[in-house]
């Protein structure tokens, strides 16, 4: 590529040697090469493309925002808060149900382990609320049941099941005479109503 002095010389223009530096400086300050121009043009084109893309994005965003202009934002925020509270309450209720189930299973297992005869009656004698709140439920339930096995008014609820004489009889069942071998309830009934007692 020719420099500017060679081009000028071809057209009959010559710059004295002592003026060349100043001339070259003035040209570089005021004019750009084709390469510089092309580079600047590319940057300008890229900037224009960016501006167009931004304009399109802004229009899209504005369109989306226009779709929400009639929406009650405070109402939506309140609904979100309500749903979060509802979710927390459902989770709390679910956790409580699971804890109750696990506690009841533990009580039943513990009663069975000490040969409890009537789980419902024994559970009614326990301080269930205190035991549920305990951090050592298993140990505390075991201790409470041990105390019940030692109390006079509750120890009959524990122990191995006794075989009744009827269990050792004929599995088909034995015949008995009317009025013979009455249970305590039957005997009391017939004592109060002797006219109904079978012969």
Q: From 190, 126, 196, select the one nearest 157 (Cα to Cα).
A: 126
Task: Write down how long the chain is.
Answer: 199
pLDDT of 180 higher than 70: no
Query: Cα angle vertex 128, ends 126, 130, to 5°?
Result: 110
pLDDT tens digits along 75-132: 888 989 999 999 999 999 999 999 899 999 999 999 989 888 888 889 999 999 999 8
Residue pLDDT, tens place only, 40-60: 888 888 888 999 988 898 988
Domain ranges of the chain: 4-65, 76-157
Closest to 20 in 3D by CA, of 33, 5, 8: 5
If we measure between CA atoms, which residue out of 2, 72, 66, 62 comes closest to residue 34?
A: 2
State percent of the chain over pLDDT 90: 22
Nearest alpha carbon to residue 131 among 96, 91, 100, 97:
100
For residue 196, how many C-alpha atoms fall within 13 Å in the half-sphere facing its CB?
Answer: 8
């Amino acid at each position: 590529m020719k420099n500017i002095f060679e081009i000028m010389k071809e057209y009959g223009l010559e710059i004295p040697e002592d003026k060349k530096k100043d001339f070259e400086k003035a040209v570089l300050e005021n004019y750009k090469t084709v390469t510089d121009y092309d580079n600047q043009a590319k940057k300008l084109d890229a900037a224009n493309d960016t501006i167009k893309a931004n304009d399109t994005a802004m229009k899209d965003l504005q369109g989306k925002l226009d779709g929400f202009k009639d929406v009650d934002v405070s109402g939506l925020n309140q609904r979100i808060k309500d749903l979060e509270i509802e979710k927390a309450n459902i989770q709390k209720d679910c956790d409580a149900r699971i804890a109750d189930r696990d506690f009841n299973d533990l009580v039943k297992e513990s009663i069975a382990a000490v040969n409890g005869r009537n789980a419902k009656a024994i559970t009614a004698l326990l301080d269930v609320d205190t035991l549920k709140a305990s951090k050592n439920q298993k140990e505390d339930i075991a201790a409470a049941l041990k105390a019940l096995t030692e109390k006079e008014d509750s120890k009959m609820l524990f122990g191995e099941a006794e075989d009744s004489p009827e269990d050792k009889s004929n599995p088909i069942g034995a015949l008995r005479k009317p009025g013979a071998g009455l249970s305590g309830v039957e005997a009391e009934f017939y004592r109060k109503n002797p006219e109904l007692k079978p012969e």
